[in-house]
Amino acid sequence: MTRDEQLIEELRQRDERFGALYAAHQDYDRQLQRLVRKSYLTAAEELEEARLKKLKLSLKDEMYVMLQEYARSRN
């Protein structure tokens, strides 16, 4: 397990908000993977794919900030 993976796991266990963000990020990823596996996307599915990517990225950005703050507080 890498240092980053260890920090993520620690923060997931210690911070309820981070855990919820992580779970939502994983859920968006699963939804995106279902769309990616399709050979053809309808217009609505293409919009949904773009929406999910934006949501996932937003969560990732928020988790990154939290992770950086947590890592600094440990030092």
Name the token pair of 21.
């963000």
Q: State residue 9's pLDDT score.
A: 95
Average pLDDT over residues 8-28: 97
Tell me which residue has tokens 């699963």. Answer: 30
Distance between CA atoms of 43 and 30, rounded to whole angstroms?
20
Higher pLDDT, 75 or 39: 39
pLDDT digits (tens, 9 = 90+) for 20-69: 999 999 999 999 999 999 999 999 999 999 999 999 999 999 999 999 99
Tell me which residue has tokens 């796991």. Answer: 9
Distance between CA atoms of 49 and 43, rounded to whole angstroms?
10
What is Dmax (Cα atoms) for the chain?
Answer: 49
Q: State residue 74's pLDDT score.
A: 83
- Write down the pTM of the prediction: 0.89
Q: State residue 1's pLDDT score.
A: 86
